[in-house]
Structure 1
Amino acid sequence: MAGLSTHILDTHSGIPAQGVKIELFAIGPDGTAVSQGSFTTNADGRTDGLLLSPEAIRPGTFELRFHMGAYFRGRGIALPEPLFLDVIPLRFGISDPAKHYHVPLLASPWSYSTYRGS
């Protein structure tokens, strides 16, 4: 099924990251960012629905902004000020809107990684 989805794993604690704000933007050719919505992760570290539905997905450049600093502060983790990682932006391209794009984030207060999942 086509669409865009994500999930977040807290690699510091080894759990899904619940309650993380995620923003989605479409990036124009001139670099302008146009909001496509704001989401919050559930107990499984996922959003309750697709970020882009099969009807809404289209070719282009997009950016997810994961508000991880607020999440780690909320977990009571001792962190320096300013945070090493606060809002993590991931910019990626969608070339085939007939396919599903899954963009997960594995994050700690000091590192992150991503990949194109299924």
Structure 2
Amino acid sequence: MATSKNGSPLTTHVLNTADGVPGARMALSLHRLEPQMVLWNLITIGTTDEDGRCSDLITREAFTAGMYKLRFETRQYWESLGHTSFYPYVEIVFTITDLDQTFHLPLLLSRYSYSTYRGT
């Protein structure tokens, strides 16, 4: 797979499926599991752009094999739209073994449900 235009091997895209719009301005963070101590280490924080995308999560150099999680601050997002949400946050945990690939993890979101998949 090709690398994104900015070189990040990991990208995400939030879609507000309830309203049919991008999940713009949603805070998120990327963490990597430190296996010896079983602790999540914060790698970066970010915010989705107006199109619901966040494409500068990690550099190719910092990207190593292991277990990661993306945490999306959904309560803040829904409150900014004047709504409440059943889920205060969403965490997607995944394992990276092949560092030569590029990974895209979309989040499809409503106030009472969410789904995700590995995209390209």
2:52 corresponds to: 45
Partner Cα distance (2:99, 2:64) in 1: 5
Q: Which amino acid aligns with 2:117?
A: Y
1:106 corresponds to: 108
Tell me the TM-score normalized by structure 2. 0.88
Residue 55 in 1 paired to residue 61 in 2?
Answer: yes
1:32 corresponds to: 39
Tell me the TM-score normalized by structure 1. 0.90
- 8 Å CA contact 1:54, 1:98 repeated in 2: no
CA displacement 1:25-55 (0-9 Å, x = unmatched): 00122431000010000100012x4212222
Partner Cα distance (2:56, 2:97) in 1: 18
Partner Cα distance (1:95, 1:63) in 2: 14
Computed over aligned residues only, the root mean square deviation of the Cα atoms, in angstroms, reads: 1.3
Q: Which amino acid aligns with 2:107?
A: L
1:12: how far off?
A: 1.1
1:115 corresponds to: 117
1:8 corresponds to: 14
1:3: how far off?
A: 0.5
Matched positions, count: 113
Partner Cα distance (2:79, 2:18) in 1: 13
Report the identity percentage: 35
2:95 corresponds to: 93
1:22 corresponds to: 28
Unpaired segments of 5 or more residues in structure 2? Answer: none
Task: List, as ranges, runs of 4+ consecutive aligned residues in structure 1 with deviation greater than 6 Å.
Answer: none
1:101: how far off?
A: 0.7
